[in-house]
A = this chain, B = another copy of it.
C-alpha cells in the first residue's frame, strides 16, 4: 500500500545569511538526510532574526508540512529572539533548564579552559513545552516542539537546531530517528553512478533515448560538481522497497552500459577515494608533483581518511628552480620546451617518483591565471602520470577563473591518474 508522502520545510534564521556573509550549507545537509528517510522537502526559506517574521513564516510552513526544521538564531551572541518566538508559537511561557545539555555546556567550556558564563548557562534553558535532543558538539540543545492534529489538521513536529554546521551535522542522525519514530515516511530508492569527462548537456544528449524510456515514477538527476564530475542518480519514489530495488537494479545496469567509459564508480564516491581504494588493494604507493595546482591535488588525496597508508607525499614546485633543484627537471629541458609542456610534466612526475620511491606519481604544470606568464596560455595545463610501466601526458584547457581552473586542473589530473592505475593493476 502506498503511504502518504510526508513533507518537510527547512528554515534558516539569521541576518548573516540574508546579508550574504554566510553560505547556507545546513539546509543542504538536512535535505539530504530527509530525502534518505523518504521525506520530501517542499521548500527551504531563510528569514531574518525578527519575531514577526519567525512567527508568520513558521506558522505558514507548519500548515503545509508535517516536519519543519529550523536552524540558527541560537548562538551565544545572537539577540534573544528565536527561542522566545518558538515558545510563543507553541503558547508556552515557562522555561526549564535541561540538565543533560548543561553537563555538555560545562564539559565543552572546561575542555577549552573557559569560564562558565551566564550566557552559556542560558543556552541550556528551554521552553517547558519542548522535548530536547542533546547537542553533544555544542552548547545549544536541539528543541523539538510537537503539535497535535487540532492545530494544523495534521500532526506536526518542529525541530530547532543550532546554526553551526558542525553541530547540525552531528545531531542529524538523532533528529532523523525521531522523525521516523513519529511519522510513517514514504520510500525513496536511489542508485548513483559517478562519471567524469563529459558535461551535463552532452551527457543528457548521449543518453536521451534511454532516459525518455524510463518508467513512470523513476527520475534521473544530473548533479555536476567540478571536483567529482557529473553524478547521475536514479530515484524511485513511493511503492514497495524490494520491488523498487529490483527495478532500479535493472535500469542501473542499462544506464552504466549507456555511459560506458565515462563511469568511474558505481556508488556515490569521488576520484581521490577511488584512487585510494585501488592503491590500498594492491599495496601501491603514490606521490605528486604540483606546479599550477599548488597543493590542491595533495590536499584532495589527504582529505581521504587513511590516506597515509598509500600516500608518501608531494613536492609543490611553484618556482622553476624548485622543479630543477628538488625534482631534477633539467634546466635545458625547461629552456627548450618551457615549463608548461608535456616534457616538463613528464620530468616532474618521474622526478617525484624517483625522489619518494613511490609506485605511481601524478604531476601538473600550467597556468591557472589570471595573468599569462612567459607567453603561456591562461587555462592550459599539462598533466603527467608515471609508473614503472611508463609515463603518459595529456593537456587540458579550461576558460574559468583562477579558483575554478585550479579545481578543474586537479580533477582532470586525478581522473587521468585513476584511469592509468585501473588499466595497469587489472
Query: CA A420 – CA B244 in complex, angstroms?
Result: 61
As for how many copies of this chain the complex holds, the number is 2
A314 at the binding interface (Cβ < 8 Å)? yes
Interface of A is mostly: mixed
Q: A47 contacts which chain B residues (CB < 8 A)?
A: 43
Query: CA A401 – CA B33 in complex, angstroms?
Result: 19
Query: CA A295 – CA B294 in complex, angstroms?
Result: 8
A356 to chain B, nearest CB (A): 6
**Once the chains bind, are A314 and B302 in contact (CB under 8 Å)?**
no
A175 at the binding interface (Cβ < 8 Å)? no
Indicate the size class of the contact surface on chain A.
35 or more
Query: CA A404 – CA B25 in complex, angstroms?
Result: 14
Q: A46 contacts which chain B residues (CB < 8 A)?
A: 27, 43-45
**Once the chains bind, are B31 and A19 in contact (CB under 8 Å)?**
yes
Q: A142 contacts which chain B residues (CB < 8 A)?
A: none
Q: A313 contacts which chain B residues (CB < 8 A)?
A: 315-319, 322, 326
A300 to chain B, nearest CB (A): 8
A200-B75, A201-B76, A314-B316 known; A20 and B41 CB under 8 Å?
yes
Query: CA A184 – CA B410 in complex, angstroms?
Result: 45
Binary CB contact string for chain A from 40 to 70 against chain B (1 if under 8 A, 0 otherwise): 1111111110000100000000000000000
**Once the chains bind, are A311 and B318 in contact (CB under 8 Å)?**
yes
**Once the chains bind, are A221 and B16 in contact (CB under 8 Å)?**
yes
Query: CA A31 – CA B21 in complex, angstroms?
Result: 8
Query: CA A44 – CA B24 in complex, angstroms?
Result: 11
Given contacts A23-B25, A299-B406, A307-B318, 16 further A-B contacts (CB under 8 A): A18-B40, A18-B43, A19-B31, A20-B31, A21-B221, A21-B231, A44-B45, A44-B46, A117-B205, A166-B401, A288-B316, A299-B299, A302-B316, A302-B406, A313-B317, A313-B319
Interface residues of A (CB under 8 A from B): 15-25, 27-35, 40-48, 53, 75-77, 111, 114, 117, 119-120, 166, 200-202, 204-205, 221-223, 231, 233, 288, 290, 294-303, 305-308, 311-319, 321-322, 325-326, 355-357, 369-371, 373, 399-404, 406
